[in-house]
Homo-oligomer: A and B are copies of this chain.
Amino acid sequence: MDREWNDSQPIYRQLRDRVVAMILDGVLKEGDPLPSVRNVATEYRVNPLTVLKGYQQLVDEGLVETRRGRGMFINVGARSLLLQGERQKFLGEEWPRVYATIQRLGLRAEELLDGATSRSSSDAAQAKTDKSNAPEEEN
């Protein structure tokens, strides 16, 4: 697990996303306790309040339950709830945006979706189709 943060999104949301990922990946199973607020805060060198804020979001989404004095626990049904919701969110919001970017950059989605994980990033997946984007200097 990374110990670093992305400046493109608030920490508490990234934290929420990490827990979600862990649930989807089966690292955290239903009934399991979340790593404690204080532990996470210390380990990632972040303020406890920030962690709490991320966790509270999970509570609000019905994924996690608080037991006073004991900790926070993953609810039953959390995973399937997530699979539904996150898929919808991804397909409805993120993917269209990403797909547009892929086309804009003249990359090809199929290639990216195949091997994908490691791609040198230099001139990777060059654009055969430079469609509709003719520079066409005209001054």
Contact = CB atoms under 8 A, between A and B. Distances in A.
Interface residues of A, number: 55
Nearest to A88: B121
Contacts of A92: 119, 121, 124
A1 interface: no
Contacts of A122: 88
Interface in A13-57: 21, 24-26, 29-31
B26 A121 contact: no
Nearest to A122: B88
Interface string A81-120: 0011011101110111011111011110110111011110
A91 B30 contact: no
Contacts of A118: 96
